[in-house]
Amino acid sequence: MSIYTEDQAKAILDKVVKLSKADQCSATLSGSNGGNIRYALNSVSTSGNVSDADLAVEVAFGKRVGTATINTFDDASLEAVVRRAEELARLAPENPEFVPAIDKQAYKPSGTFVEKTAAITPEYRAQVAAACIEPCRKDKLVAAGFFSDSQSFSAVANSKGNFGYQKSTGMDFTCTVRTDDGHGSGWVARNLADVSKFDAKSDIRTAIEKARGSVGAKALEPGKYTVIMEPAATAGLISFMMFGFDARSADEGRSFLSKKGGGNKLGEKLFDERVSIHADPWDAEAAVLPWDNDGLARERTPIITKGRVDYLHYSRYWAQKQGKRAVGQPGNLIMAGGDKSTMDLVKGTKKGVLVTRTWYIRMVDPQTVLLTGLTRDGTFYIENGEIKYPIKNFRFNESPAIMLNNLEELGKPVRVGDDESPFVMMIPPMKIRDFTFTSLSDAV
Amino acid sequence: MDRRDFLKITGASLGGLVIPSIYGRAVAAEALLTKVDAATKKRLADVALQAARSGGASYCDVRIGRYLRQFVITREDKVQNVVNTESSGVGIRVIANGTWGFAATSDMSDDGIAKAARQAIAIAKANSRLQAKPVELAPVKGVGEVSWATPIVKNAMEVPIKDKVDLLLGVNAAAMQAGASFVNSILFLVNEQKYFASTDGSYIDQDVHRIWAPLTVTAVDQKSGKFRTRHGLSAPRGMGFEYLDAKPADKVELPGGAVVYRDSYDMKADAIAAAKQAREKLTAQSVKPGKYDLVLDPSHLWLTIHESVGHPLELDRVLGYEANYAGTSFATLDKWKSKNFKYGSDKVTIFADKVQKGTLGAVGYDDEGVKTQRWDLIKDGVLVNYQVIRDQAHILGLDASQGCCYADSWSNVQFQRMANVSLAPGKDKLSPQDMIKNVENGIYIIGDGSFSIDQQRYNAQFGGQLFYEIKNGEVTRPLEDVAYQMRTPEFWNSCVAVCDESDYRFGGSFFDGKGQPGQVSAVSHGSATARFNGANVINTARSLG
């Protein structure tokens, strides 16, 4: 068993906190049931079920901290894990940046659990794979994809009387469709909490159309272009930029949000007026747990408001040192937008480039958050509001801090998952001027 | 590297309480020293093999794994975290109805293991309905009961935590004294105790050790608001704690004065150099973009080899199995079949291996019981081979696997992973000093930096740690804001010289990511300094206004 009820979880955590003889004790109990199916070359390659539960116990004697974890929860195991954490704490060096356990928090539940997603079966996963493979087999196309889903719970407690419990579900789907001669490639992705909103048969059409439409790509000169970025194309760039929103790094002078001469740029207007990003654990489409990894309660937090930096993340230590209030670290990024779809933005574009997704994004210079990466699986030239022809992929060298100043228009935000991002995101399609492509890629 | 897992373990994005599940459960330091005896593991393996046979499997392999890791993470005068983790369990892979099935369990009882074997068979049978062609396994002769261990001198797990903390805090103090604004240093230690058994009649007990000691120094100029970092010039290695012995003979002073390391690392000296060089970077000349001849040190070139040769020559990528994630490859089978595809110039011979001593890939046998070896991928510039495992060998007409199969834990299924992939040193005597003498307008790059490559491995961009201008055969001054963009075949065909064996050194990756769900592996890349003519260099400086 890996999914515990609130009562079961509380009983375990209460025992742990009671067993501890340390100055303070915090514990996290979590568990998940997950399943996945992977397919390539129009055949299923692997599928699996993973089930696991874990208890992490952190204790402190003064400023000495020890952590131990265990995945069995009988009384003897609970005693053993507490004693081990205590033993590690006694051996640990003093941590000068130690902060005491959090006080009792008020957690307001968020809608992270959807019954239908929790009930996904291996048969359902096989149907998703089949929905992608079958139309491709018939049509000289090759599908490769991955569908994964999970239900999980998380419970936190500490010796100051704090307690929280919540269940979550999620599903993530990606599929790449290539023409069998390798000249065209398209992609589709869907990240949802509620599987009933997912339709593989419909989504796969997007990847198929892009695969077919990208055959015979022409080469354009690298340079600065007006681009229509689908939500998945900017999610990675925005997520990377958030690493610069750490208050300590900014105060230490090593972030793009550091101020010349010392301090940080909190409160300064650094982006286009239309850029607003906030975090909200209770967002109807992108709900996340109402606490962060320290157990601190999350709040609705404006991060960027009308281009102004409204939030930097203060760790509990740094908040204490700087005389700030530490709030829960955001688990989602909700970017404001309009009502238009990606294709509506295309319609209003005289000349430009439509980008389906970006790939292998890496930091080039943290001073300016200059990132490099490439377009992939569907890059098209736009003329007079129409997609004219497919073009070869580009490498970009661009800073999201510059990109978000070159905004032309925003569309309707959609939920996006990203392999390399810790956030659930709502990102609009964007029309951006002067986006910097620095070289061509022959990759399809 | 998987950025998300790295950030988790270094605590850069999360609090201290959450230990990423991929690293298993946290244990006390002394638990890292114990071992399970081979006889016990053989008995458990036989339970799985027997259950698989009687369940109708035509093939079965069992991996009983105990994966131990220790991380010591510091910044300036503080220990941020000491984490010990252990993960133990059994992974069972079978072929039934001509189809693979896999199941894993942490329940090491006879019943638990037999149940997992039956589950693997059930999965194989269920998936066989969608299987187009039955699995074709290249034969392996059983080796009976054998063992192999990384030839370490000092078991890093046996070195007291206090000594490790003292080492890192000493390194940090030296960097701060030398002008660093901030310094982070880390020790990553890995011990994989892996037992493999198969219905081919092999019982292989292996004890694998790896070590990595990365550091980053940051220099901040508050007045100008500028900051620069310099990462350490060490390499992760398949060695014990002796890698940190700082033997003077392993120190190499390069033209221009930078110091790099062979088979042992002076972490403190490198931290001091890093502090000075990070500060130097704040005022170094910003590069003028254009065409330059590049002289690439092995501490840099390993990553270019990894991305532009190692990955595109993985056969599963070539065939399309990674199309949805890491991508496919430009190095298609027709290019290999032509026997004349010029991947590089005739100076370029690149080989794969899992046998070079002290490398991350070195093991006696891979994770499907194949004895490891060395083979050429590119011979005198021509593409001659790929990296394959047992169920791929027949595609190339090979009668045996090359031994590239690996799983990052007992709970994940083994699949094709990159072997060590290395550039063979030049046959003629040539030192970096001699190589530079003939360069009129070039850039000398030391250390790895930013890296990005497309999904077919054509277009790549690489940064570095240290950049020096070369003018008329001399290293003249440091440069900044340098990155080069390349197209893989053109780049390797522009290779005009490779230094000789005396300059051969290793770099490597501790966390190379692949697969869905993702797995990591560790891999080394050897080379001597090499010269590439006419590379396209861009300037990466930007202004945020």
Q: What is the pLDDT along chain B (545 residues), one digit of tens a residue?
A: 344 444 444 433 323 333 344 445 555 555 555 677 889 999 999 999 999 999 999 999 999 999 888 889 999 999 888 877 778 889 999 999 999 999 988 888 899 999 999 989 998 888 787 777 899 999 999 999 999 999 999 999 999 988 999 999 999 999 999 999 999 999 999 999 999 999 999 999 999 999 999 999 999 999 999 999 999 999 999 999 999 999 999 999 999 999 999 999 999 999 999 999 999 999 999 999 999 999 999 999 999 999 999 999 999 999 999 999 999 999 999 999 999 999 999 999 999 999 999 999 999 999 999 999 999 999 999 999 999 999 999 999 999 999 999 999 998 999 999 999 999 999 999 999 999 999 999 999 999 999 999 999 999 999 999 999 999 999 999 999 999 999 999 999 999 999 999 999 999 999 999 999 889 999 999 999 999 999 999 999 999 87
Question: What pLDDT does residue B433 have?
Answer: 98
Question: What pLDDT does residue B27 have?
Answer: 57
The SS3 assignment for B55 reads coil
- CB contacts of A293 in chain B (<8 Å) are 14-15, 17-18
In 3D space, the residue among A440, A430, A423 whose CA is nearest the CA of residue A355 turns out to be A430
Cβ of A54 within 8 Å of Cβ of B25? The answer is yes
- Find residues 316-355 of chain A whose CB sits inside 8 Å of chain B: none
pLDDT digits (tens, 9 = 90+) for B390-412: 999 999 999 999 999 999 999 89
- CB contacts of B77 in chain A (<8 Å) are 96
Question: What pLDDT does residue A290 have?
Answer: 98
Banded pLDDT at A47 (limits 50, 70, 90): confident
Which among B26, B458, B461 is the nearest to A69, CB-wise?
A: B26
- The model carries a pTM of 0.95
If you count residue pairs, one on A and one on B, with CB atoms under 8 Å apart, how many are there?
224
- CB contacts of B106 in chain A (<8 Å) are 71
Q: Does A418 touch chain B (CB under 8 A)?
A: no
CA distance A180 to chain B (A): 11
Residue the block writes with tokens 């080394």:
B524
The SS3 assignment for B406 reads strand
Residue the block writes with tokens 């065939």:
B319
Q: CATH 3.30.2290.10 region(s) of chain A?
A: 6-212
Q: Where are the domains of chain B?
A: 3-281, 285-539
In 3D space, the residue among B204, B264, B273, B201 whose CA is nearest the CA of residue B237 turns out to be B264
- CB contacts of B413 in chain A (<8 Å) are 46, 48
- Find residues 489-508 of chain B whose CB sits inside 8 Å of chain A: none
CA distance A404 to chain B (A): 11
pLDDT digits (tens, 9 = 90+) for A148-161: 999 999 999 999 99
CA–CA dist B6, B19 (Å, integer): 11
Cβ of A395 within 8 Å of Cβ of B459? The answer is yes
Distance of CA B34 to the CA centre of its chain: 27
Cβ of B132 within 8 Å of Cβ of A56? The answer is no
Q: What share of chain B is helix, strand, coil (3-state, %, to 5)?
A: 25, 35, 40
Q: Does B148 touch chain A (CB under 8 A)?
A: no
- CB contacts of B324 in chain A (<8 Å) are 40, 144-146, 174-176
Burial call B323-348: b when 16+ CB within 10 Å, e when fewer: bbbbbbbbbbeebbeeeebbbbbebb
Instruction: Name, in order, each residue with C-beta under 8 angstroms of A177's C-beta and a sequence gap of 6 or more.
Output: A132, A136, A141, A142, A143, A185, A186, A187, A204, A207, A208, A210, A211
Cβ of A395 within 8 Å of Cβ of B457? The answer is no
Cβ of A50 within 8 Å of Cβ of B16? The answer is no
Q: How far apart are the first and last CA of chain A?
A: 44
- Find residues 384-413 of chain A whose CB sits inside 8 Å of chain B: 393, 395, 397, 399, 401-402
Question: What pLDDT does residue B187 have?
Answer: 97
Conformational region of residue B381, where left means phi above 0, alpha means psi within -120 to 50, and beta covers everything else? left
Flag whether pLDDT at A271 surpasses 60: yes
Banded pLDDT at A167 (limits 50, 70, 90): very high
Question: What pLDDT does residue B6 have?
Answer: 41
Contact B339, B379 (CB under 8 A): no
For domain A6-212, the CATH superfamily is PmbA/TldD superfamily (3.30.2290.10)
CA distance A256 to chain B (A): 9
Question: What pLDDT does residue A355 have?
Answer: 98
Q: Does B334 touch chain A (CB under 8 A)?
A: no
In 3D space, the residue among A187, A124, A157 whose CA is nearest the CA of residue A355 turns out to be A187
Nearest CA in chain B to A51: B105
Backbone angles phi, psi at A300, to 5 degrees: -70, 115
Question: What pLDDT does residue B147 have?
Answer: 98
Residue B439: CB atoms within 10 A of its CB come to: 22
Residue A274: CB atoms within 10 A of its CB come to: 17
Best of B77, B131, B516, B519 to mutate (most A CBs within 10 Å, chain A): B516
Banded pLDDT at A324 (limits 50, 70, 90): very high
The SS3 assignment for B508 reads strand
Backbone angles phi, psi at A245, to 5 degrees: -90, 20
Cβ of A178 within 8 Å of Cβ of B322? The answer is no
Contact A411, A342 (CB under 8 A): yes
Q: What angle do CA B278, A360, A430 make, to 5 degrees?
A: 105
Question: What pLDDT does residue A434 have?
Answer: 98
CA distance B223 to chain A (A): 5
Amino acid at A387: I
Cis peptide before B517 (omega within 30 of 0): yes
- CB contacts of B458 in chain A (<8 Å) are 441-443
Question: What pLDDT does residue B132 have?
Answer: 77
CA distance B332 to chain A (A): 10
CA–CA dist A404, A406 (Å, integer): 5
The top-level CATH class assigned to B3-281 is alpha beta
- Find residues 275-294 of chain A whose CB sits inside 8 Å of chain B: 292-294
Q: Does A265 touch chain B (CB under 8 A)?
A: no
CA–CA dist A314, A59 (Å, integer): 23
Distance of CA B511 to the CA centre of its chain: 6
CA–CA dist B65, B67 (Å, integer): 6
* Mean pLDDT within A71-99: 88
Residue B60: CB atoms within 10 A of its CB come to: 26
What are A415's two structure tokens? 């939920």
Question: What pLDDT does residue B87 have?
Answer: 82
- Find residues 18-77 of chain A whose CB sits inside 8 Å of chain B: 26, 28, 36, 38, 40-48, 50, 52, 54, 56, 58, 65, 67-71
- CB contacts of A144 in chain B (<8 Å) are 320-324
CA distance B3 to chain A (A): 7
Question: What pLDDT does residue B85 have?
Answer: 78
Contact B302, B370 (CB under 8 A): no
